[in-house]
Structures are given as structure tokens and as C-alpha cells.
Amino acid sequence: MAPPLLLLQGIRQGFGTTPLLRDATLSVGPGERLALIGRNGSGKSTLLRIAAGLIQPDGGSRFLQPGATLRYLPQEPDLSGHATTLAYVEAALGPGDDPYRARYLLEQLGLTGEEEPARLSGGEARRAALAAVLAPSPDILLLDEPTNHLDLPAIEWLEGELASLRTALVLISHDRRFLESLSRAMVWLDRGATRRLERGFAEFEAWRDEVLEEEEREAHKLSREIVREEHWLRYGVTARRKRNMRRVGELQALREKHRQRRGPLGGVKMAASEADGSGSQVVSAERISKLYGGRAVVRDFSTRILRGDRVGIVGPNGAGKTTLLNMLTGVLAPDEGEVRLGTGIEMVTLDQRRASLDDAMTLSDALTEGRGDMVHVGGTPRHVIGYMKDFLFLPEQARTPLGVLSGGERGRVMLARAMARPSNLLVLDEPTNDLDLETLDLLQEMIADYPGTVLVVSHDRDFLDRVATSVIAYEGEGRWQDYAGGYSDMVAQRGHGVRARAEAPQAAPASRRAPEPAAAAASRLRLTMGELQALKTLPAEMEKLSAEIAKLNDILADPQLYSRDPARFAKATELLAGRQAALAAAEERWLELEMRREEIEAAS
């Protein structure tokens, strides 16, 4: 067996008085493919940074073979100090590396190399950082959530690229399919210590359950041993006569061991509050179309969504998934065609921007909506502390401002709020972002048990396979198609997965296009200063409008408001309609400008 290229042993790391890592070990041999698994906050990213040599642990040792090359992809890459994305990637190359590989990787990841780092979105920055760590073909790649912000075509390309390398990999990811495809061994980080299994991620859940069941058996045996010793102390003849101090000491040691034993972390408990049932037909769309800047985002699409359906919407970034979702739920009107919503619809939406969270609000107020200490779930009042525990929050976090929570914690807050509101239609836009595997499991179970209808936009193939009864897939040129089953069923029916939008021509139908004057065509090759300013300010404006809409919805959710204060009810209803119209207009304007920006960059 070849000696390891990288070896961490007995790693200890704490923050303040809280130990994060207490006995972590990581060994990486040539060509190994390791999945590093653990809950959000368990210390995976910290262990990977220690492995990369970026931070010194409180205890333990790190060994890297002399001459071995290592590259690390953080969750939030820093591209500052470089004029272009190409310059950033080329700076990562060594003396013997292929200089053409930098441009090749950027092109494969949808970048030209001429982008200015300061103007990149989060997704674009991550693509550039991926190119930078892949370009040198190092001996070891440490990748922390490499699929974040990537769409399905980019994820599947990255899978193929990593599979073709001879590089050793250590992967942190919440994308099950990605881990199943690439991992050959697992390191589970749990309660500060690591366990290793020489099998791929597909075996993880069964192995984890076996480990936890064995721990439960050991804990049961320990408890029974304590009971036996206590009985001996109370009723044994020897105990009464000469107090065998050795056995007293052994009992105290057992009790101390029992007190200090750290059991497995609690599980998330989810149960959606159910509203009265909707009609049998929830959404009916007849030949709907939507155009932005001459480009068909949705063209001549029809579908029927019935009560109990779980519909996934898939496509590359920029295809118009959120636009289609907004049209199907009545938030955005189609240019042509008609969308009819069924009767008795009670809709709850979880958006990917977490826009309805006020950073200054405390966790407790976010869950109770500022109405005391109780949360009403399924018509049953529950104390907010108990409800927080269901979503893995500690009691001492009750007064924590939302602004200091991590992405995963904010995701759990949004889920907790959504699950507490009565609904028969769940609209989930990228609900799996930042959720750990255990939370994903329970979200899937909740959706499976949910008696209403679910519409979900997601890039997570495994999640779609587990929850979707049908998939609406982007087919290019604004065309969308229904497929029965989950993502894998869709691939089997159409013969391929989701392809990048650039692979399909994006022209609008000829009947909808008129010849463009030369002057107008020239003007479309750049954005005006006003348009650039709008692109910069519209996202903040949309977040503000979304937050106002959420607050107005909270006010109108009070069933006694109309009888108690008709004037306030009327005013809130009028304001809500105005804010919703303003949000739809802002989203349309932003999407139109974003499409034009992409067209200009593609033409330059």
C-alpha cells in the first residue's frame, strides 16, 4: 500500500470553550476519492482548511509528502488582485503546466476569460475558482461544495472532468448524486471525531445507521451496568459490611462516562401545517408564452397540475425556470395564453434568495412572527423553543439575529416558517441550497407525506428522483416539455440530461420578430448608464418588495383582522396588490436587462 500523500492525525480545534474537532484523522493516498461527510456546523470546512494548511489546529499533526501539489477550493473564493478571470486562472499554473488548459476550462464552465473579477456573480466566481484549481492537475484536490451555484449541465460536466483525472479528491458536497458518482471511500465527521469506510457514498446511510444502532446498544448496556452496581451498593451484604471502595470508584467512573457520552445529534422534525383541500385541478396552463428582449423564455406551453402532484422544473441557468414557476402560480402574467388556478388554493413559497428574512429579526420572532412564544403548527400551539429544536437550533439561539446565521441555518429558518403556515400548495425554489444530508432526508419525507401539491425548482438530481412525480424540462428556444417520473426517468425518456442553454439556438419565433434597424442593432451592443444602474439596484429593490409582501401576508393571515379592523384589512389588501405588481414589474425589468447583458457578452 502506497504511503499517504496527506495525513492529519489527532486534530483538535475549538472556538472559545466549544470543541469543534476533538480527534479527527484524515489520510489521502494517491488517486483516492474521499467523500467528507457531516452535518452543517460539524467542522468539515474547518478540517479541510487545516488539510490545506490555511489554519493551524489547536492540537494534532499534519503531514504532506514533499513535492506533492495540493489545491483547495473554498466555498467563497477570493479573486481580488487580478484583472481578468483568465489572469486569475493562469496565476494558479505552475512552470510545467499546460497554459492552454486555463482557457479550455473557463470556456467549459461558461466564461470567456475576459470577465472582471469585481463584476462577477457568486456563481461566476465559483466557476472561475474551479478552473483555477483544476488547471494545474495537482496531486490532491480539496473541494468544498464544488457544485454550489452550478446548474445541471455544469454539474454533470464537472462530474465527468473529475472522473477523468488521476488526482486524489476530497469532496464536501450535499449533492448525493455527485458524491455517489465520484467517491470510493468515506470519512464521516461526527461529534468532533472521524470514522472511515472503504466504500462509496451510496453505502453511507446504511453504515451510519449501523454505527448509531451499535452506540445505542452500548449505551443501553452501560445504563444496565450502572443499575446493577447501584443495586449492589444498596442491598449487597459486602456493601453494608465493609464498603468496597474499588467498586464505588468504578460506579462513579461509569456515571461520569454516562454523563460525558455524546449521543448522536438530534434529527430535524418536519410536519407541514395543512390547509383545507384545494380543488382537484390546481393549475391549468393553456399555450402560455413569455418573451424578454426578443427572446422566448416560455413558448406555447400547456400543462395540467392536479392535487397531490409533485412537479419538478429543471433547466440550465438563464433558461427561465423561476419565470415559468411564477407564471404557473399566478405571480407573473403570460404574454400569451392563460393560467387558471384552482379553487381554495393556500400557497406557501420558499424562495432561493431567502428574501423574506429580516436580518435584524431574532430567530424566535421569525418563527412566531412576533406574536409571543408560541408557534401554531397544524392547528396545534407549540412553544417556540421546542419548535426550534425540531430544526436543530439550540435554546440559547432564540434571541440570535438572523443576520448572523449561516446559509444552512437561514435555510432551516425558511423551512420552519414555511412548514408552520397552513397550505395546500408548496412552491419551493431551490429548497436544497445549504441543507445538510439529514435535513434533506426529512424534507423529502415531509414532501412525500404532504397531502397537497408541490412545485419545485432544483438542480439536485437525487432530490428530484426522490420527490417528483413529473418533471418539466427545458428543451431550448423557450420550449418546455412534461415528463412522467423523476429526473432519471426524464433522462431515460429523452436520452440525455439537461444541456447548457448555449447549445440550443435562442431566437424567438419568426412571426414574433421584425427586422431590426441598423441603428437599433448597434445600440443593443451596449447597456446605457441607466440600464447598468438598474441592473445593480433592482435586486435590492426586489428583496425589499419581497420582505414587504411577506409582512403584509403576515398581517392578512390573521383570521380576525377583517371583523376587528375592516379599514386596516382593506389598506393591507390594497398595499399587497401594489407591492406584488411592483415586484413582478421589477423582476421582468431585471430579467430583460440580464438577458440583454448575456447577449452582449456572448456577441463580444
Given phi > 0 = left and psi -120 to 50 = alpha, else beta, which region is 43?
Answer: left
Mean pLDDT of 36-43: 83
Q: What span, in angstroms and rounded, lies between the C-alpha atoms of 532 and 526?
A: 10
Residue 505 is classified by DSSP as -
Q: Which helix (H) or strand (E) holds 171?
A: strand 168-172
Task: Note the Cα 458 to chain centre separation in Å.
Answer: 9
pLDDT in tens, 55-85: 999 999 999 999 999 999 998 888 888 999 9
pLDDT in tens, 329-353: 998 899 999 999 988 888 888 765 5
Q: How many helices (H) and strands (E) are present in the chain, helices listed first?
A: 20, 20
For residue 371, the one-letter residue type is R
What b/e string do you get for 40-74 counting C-beta neighbours within 10 Å, with b at 16 or more? bebbbbbbbbbbbeeeebeebebebbeeebbbbbb
Q: Which among 524, 541, 550 is positioned nearest to 604, based on CA atoms? A: 524
pLDDT in tens, 507-532: 333 333 333 443 334 344 466 666 67
- Tell me what pLDDT residue 269 has: 55
Q: What span, in angstroms and rounded, lies between the C-alpha atoms of 571 and 573?
A: 5
SS3 at position 198: coil
Q: What span, in angstroms and rounded, lies between the C-alpha atoms of 282 and 454?
A: 10
Q: What span, in angstroms and rounded, lies between the C-alpha atoms of 264 and 201?
A: 20
Q: Which three cell numbers stand for residue 512?
A: 414574433
Report the alpha-carbon angle 54-59-64, nearest 5.
50
| Cα dihedral 407, 46, 121, 318 sign | negative
Q: Which three cell numbers stand for residue 540?
A: 435590492
Give the residue with greater pLDDT, 554 vs 353: 554
Mean pLDDT of 323-333: 91
Q: Residue 364: pLDDT above 60?
A: yes
Spatial contact of 468 and 496, defined as CB atoms under 8 Å apart: no
- Tell me what pLDDT residue 258 has: 47
% residues pLDDT > 70 (the chain)? 81
Q: Which three cell numbers stand for residue 280?
A: 382537484
- Kindly report the backbone phi and psi dihedral angles of residue 244, in degrees, each rounded to the nearest multiple of 5, phi listed first: -60, 100
Q: What span, in angstroms and rounded, lies between the C-alpha atoms of 63 and 318?
A: 44
Q: What span, in angstroms and rounded, lies between the C-alpha atoms of 38 and 41?
A: 8
Give the residue with greater pLDDT, 596 vs 73: 73
Spatial contact of 281 and 425, defined as CB atoms under 8 Å apart: no
Identify the band that residue 481 occupies on the pLDDT scale cut at 50, 70 and 90.
very high
Spatial contact of 455 and 328, defined as CB atoms under 8 Å apart: yes
Q: Which three cell numbers stand for residue 115?
A: 470577465
Q: What span, in angstroms and rounded, lies between the C-alpha atoms of 119 and 116?
A: 6
Identify the band that residue 421 occupies on the pLDDT scale cut at 50, 70 and 90.
confident
Q: What span, in angstroms and rounded, lies between the C-alpha atoms of 37 and 599?
A: 40
- Tell me what pLDDT residue 516 has: 40
Q: What span, in angstroms and rounded, lies between the C-alpha atoms of 303 and 29?
A: 52
Give the residue with greater pLDDT, 156 vs 214: 156
Beta strand 59-64 pairing with 6-15: antiparallel
Residue 501 is classified by DSSP as G
Residues 6+ apart with CB under 8 A from 165: 134, 137, 141
- Tell me what pLDDT residue 254 has: 54
- Tell me what pLDDT residue 466 has: 85
Q: Which among 545, 126, 546, 590 is positioned nearest to 351, based on CA atoms? A: 546
- Tell me what pLDDT residue 1 has: 60
Quickly count: other Cβ atoms within 10 Å of residue 596's Cβ: 20
Q: What span, in angstroms and rounded, lies between the C-alpha atoms of 195 and 599?
A: 49
SS3 at position 157: helix
Q: Residue 394: pLDDT above 70?
A: yes
Mean pLDDT of 4-27: 86
- Tell me what pLDDT residue 542 has: 81
Crossing angle between the packed helical segments 245-260 and 204-235, to the nearest 10 degrees: 150
Quickly count: other Cβ atoms within 10 Å of residue 95's Cβ: 4
Q: DSSP characters for 262-321? A: -PPPPPP---PPB-S---SEEEEEEEEEEEETTEEEEEEEEEEEETT-EEEEE--TTS-H
Highest mean pLDDT among 178-192, 409-423, 587-601: 178-192
Q: Residue 103: pLDDT above 70?
A: yes
SS3 at position 233: helix
